[in-house]
Amino acid sequence: MSAPNDVVITGIGLLTSLGEGVEANWAALRDFTAPVIDSERFAPYTVHPLPEVDWSLQIAKRGDQRQMESWQRIGTYSAGLALEDAGIKGDEALCASMDMIVAAGGGERDVDVDTMILKRIADGAPDIGVAINEVLTTELRPTLFLAQLSNLLAGNISIVHKVTGSSRTFMGEEGAGISAIQTAAARIRSGQSTHALVGGAYNTEHPDMLLSYELAHHLMRDSWRPVWQRGQAEGGGVVTGSGGVFLVLESREHATARGAKIYASLGTVAADLGPTGSQETRKRLDRLAAETGLGETDIVFSAVSGANARTADEKAFLTESLAGVPVRGLTTATGNLSEAQFPLAVALAALSLSNGETLPVLDPDFETEAEAAPSSIGVLAVGFNAAEGMAVVRKAEGADA
């Protein structure tokens, strides 16, 4: 039975290597044959790059575009797509009362300035501290520190799209995306919020973004292969992608009152964090599955990272605890979008249910065919470094079977 405060998904904004918007992304996944990748620009690493984007379609003022770093433009743009998809964009009253929860990382470093400092050191600067200070005081933009604030993405969305309700920002890889969805859903379910904009963005096409992964040896160096097959590849197994994903979540009562289209309903969202040993991880995954009912769904959409040890633990959980439930490793198609990865899996689950179609097998060596269009989809994320999250997305009530 539905309740007034059931959480429903009414808007989806997608910008990934597969395209812009829900239709382009779903079409690319439904007919998936190969990912969009670039293995040359950042060799030996592969990335999933964004397509060409006309930022002015969602960020009208050139001045606003110029003062944003790339990850902020990606997030602000995809937030606009979600608001537009939900029929909320431009509605001053709805935007003013709309809560916002964003998953964000840090800002993009000034690579030219970093390079100058490293060159001074390599050239034998007698005092490294003095050399660093000289470069920073003469070359670094004063606004860079402001631009690096993780909550500036939310600030830009507020400025551009006039979403001016309460605002929260979570920071920290996949765990931030899980917490953002979990918190937004909990606020709506409790009656603290009626509608919320929630999501994240990531720009992998920037050297320091790749560096942060590679410092811990997480990036794969071999030629591209599906995410479940990277255990024997050179490097760490992670292939990152650029993208932004935002969702509009509402209470069922609020969505129905304004006549909104409902993609799907969002059930329990559960998350945890702890020691990353295989036994400890497995205990947490089994507990989260019991809490959410993940094993009772028709198919699981995984935001699998590709990181060797963590992905091996996830595969063991899927094959043993969820035996018989088909799975799709979405990262094969899009790359790892870091903070936006869990929202991406939730968004694609909602699209699958709304369209009455399942996704094809993305990796025949591990994944199996689904027998029919799903009525419920489990969403799973095991972060590359830490954090686990699960949710169940269900077909909207009243939708055609």
Question: For the residues 167-179, what does the mean pLDDT come to?
Answer: 95
Residue 153 pLDDT level (bands cut at 50, 70, 90): very high
- Which residues are CB-neighbours of 96 under 8 A, at least 6 positions away? 162, 164, 165
Residue 232 has pLDDT above 70, yes or no: yes
Task: Evaluate if residue 146 carries a pLDDT over 60.
Answer: no
Q: With beta carbons less than 8 A apart as the criterion, state whether 204 and 219 touch.
A: no
Query: Rounded CA gap, 179 and 83, in Å?
Result: 21
Per residue in 85-124, pLDDT (tens digit) is 999 999 999 999 999 999 998 766 777 787 888 888 888 8
Distance CA 19, CA 10 (A): 20
Helix (H) or strand (E) holding 299: strand 299-302
pTM, rounded to two decimals: 0.94
Which neighbouring-strand residues pair with 264? 9, 395
Structure tokens at 371: 């027998």
Question: How many other β-carbons are positioned within 10 Å of the β-carbon of residue 110?
Answer: 17
Query: How distant, in Å, are the alpha carbons of 132, 134, 204, 390, 391 from that of 143?
Result: 18, 18, 22, 38, 39
Alpha helices (H) in 86-215, listed in sequence order: 92-96, 111-122, 128-139, 144-147, 152-161, 173-190, 207-214
CA distance 219 to 192: 41
Q: Which of 354, 353, 335, 357 is nearest to 344 (CA)?
A: 335
Percent of the chain at pLDDT > 70 equals 96
The encoded tokens of residue 283 equal 């205990």
- Average of per-residue pLDDT values in the chain: 93
CA distance linking residue 75 with residue 101, whole number of Å? 12
What is the DSSP track for 191-245? TS-SEEEEEEEE---SHHHHHHHHTTT-BB-SS---GGG-TTSSB--B-EE-EEE
Tell me the mean pLDDT in the region 318-340.
97
**For 277-287, b where at least 16 C-beta lie within 10 A, e where not — what string?**
eeeebbebbbe
259, burial (CB in 10 Å: exposed 0-12, middle 13-18, buried 19+): exposed
Query: For position 401, what pLDDT does the model report?
Result: 37
| Residue 381 contacts residue 395 (beta carbons within 8 Å) | no
| Residues 25/27/32/34 CA torsion (nearest 10 deg) | -50
Give the Cα separation of 377 and 293 in Å (integer).
10
The pLDDT tens digits of the residues spanning 259-269 come to 999 999 999 99
Residue 142 has pLDDT above 70, yes or no: no
Q: Please give the pLDDT value at position 120.
A: 85
Predicted local distance difference test score (pLDDT) of residue 400: 46
State which amino acid sits at residue 139: E
For CA atoms 319, 233, 177, 49, the dihedral sign is negative
117/131 Cα distance (integer angstroms): 7
Strand duo 19-20 + 264-272: pairing? unpaired
pLDDT at 149 > cutoff 80:
no
Cross-strand bridge partners of residue 225: none
199 contacts: CB under 8 Å, gap ≥ 6: 13, 75, 78, 79, 82, 102, 103, 177, 180, 244, 245, 246, 247, 340, 343
Domains of the chain: residue spans and CATH: 7-108+148-395 (3.40.47.10), 111-146 (no CATH)
Which range has the worst mean pLDDT, 125-139, 206-220, 350-364? 125-139
At residue 341 the predicted structure's pLDDT band, cuts being 50, 70 and 90, is very high
Selection from 252, 257, 267, 253 nearest residue 349 by Cα: 267
Q: What is the DSSP letter of 126?
A: S
Q: pLDDT tens-digit profile of 268-321?
A: 999 999 999 999 999 999 999 999 999 999 999 999 999 999 999 999 999 999
Residue 71 has pLDDT above 60, yes or no: yes
